[in-house]
């Protein structure tokens, strides 16, 4: 039972354009959502998060949007840069400390 | 500053052998987590430790898997009688005290291959 889903395994975007990564969840008890970025042979690194009491959180080029009624969140990166090429994981938690991760989306930024 | 470290970085073993994977969390982090990532899959929670509390073992896939955390710092994940489906990258993370909003910092992982 996949509680957090990233339905796009890969995404290719031109440098300078907006990258939009999507994530859906099924568990209404989740109250905190995070995005992690992972380069090959490295552990995931935290990127940005959002609490369920908010619908938007912005940090520089990165913005996360949360639509609780649709159980959907998205990560916007604008403008996209070549260094943004990585695998992006959506994660959620609620009550328990463990993070529930999606399968990841491989983002490729083309020059 | 030192991040989360894991050893070995790679481990190749034969089916049926036991393996031990080590994690050194960030100093001062009281919470420690183990996850694994199988090929083409997301990260799967295995176990977490918080201070002296009983660990949450709800993610361990079988009784062949066990973990301990000595002195509230270093942790060892042990897999007994390894099977080919145990092949994955095993990731350790740590965070500050128990809180819903504390970011988890990940180590580079141990890639386990069971032949």
Per-residue pLDDT reduced to its tens digit, A5-56: 999 999 999 999 999 999 999 999 999 999 999 998 899 999 999 999 999 9
Tokens 């369920």 found at: A52
State pLDDT tens for residues B64-73: 999 999 887 8
Among chain B residues, the shortest Cα distance to A47 is held by B103
Angle (CA) B85-B49-B1 rounded to 5° is 95
The secondary structure of A30-78, three-state, reads: CCEEEEEEECCCCCCEEEEEEECCCCEEEECCEEEEEECCCCEEEEEEC
| Best of A90, A98, A102 to mutate (most B CBs within 10 Å, chain B) | A98
Reported as a pLDDT band with limits 50, 70 and 90, residue B99 is: low
Size of interface A-B (CB pairs under 8 A): 61
CB contact under 8 A, A44 and B106: yes
């Amino acid at each position: 039972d996949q509680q957090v889903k990233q339905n796009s395994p890969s995404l290719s975007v031109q440098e300078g354009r907006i990258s939009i990564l999507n994530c859906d969840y099924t568990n209404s008890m989740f109250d905190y959502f995070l995005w992690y970025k992972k380069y090959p042979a490295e552990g995931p690194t935290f990127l940005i998060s959002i609490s369920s009491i908010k619908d938007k959180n912005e940090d520089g080029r990165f913005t996360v949007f949360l639509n609780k009624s649709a159980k959907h969140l998205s990560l916007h990166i604008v403008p996209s840069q070549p260094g943004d090429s990585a695998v992006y994981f959506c994660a959620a938690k609620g009550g328990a400390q463990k993070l529930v991760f999606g399968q990841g989306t491989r983002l490729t930024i083309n020059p | 500053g030192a991040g989360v470290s894991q050893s070995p970085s790679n481990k190749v073993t034969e089916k049926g052998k036991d393996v031990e994977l080590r994690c050194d969390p960030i100093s001062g982090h009281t919470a420690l987590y183990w996850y694994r990532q199988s090929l083409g899959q997301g990260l799967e929670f295995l176990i977490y430790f918080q201070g002296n509390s009983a660990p949450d073992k709800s993610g361990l896939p079988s009784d062949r898997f066990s973990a301990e955390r000595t002195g509230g710092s270093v942790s060892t994940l042990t897999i007994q009688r390894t099977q080919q489906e145990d092949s994955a990258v095993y990731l350790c993370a740590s965070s500050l005290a128990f809180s819903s909003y504390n970011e988890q910092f990940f180590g580079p992982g141990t890639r386990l291959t069971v032949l």
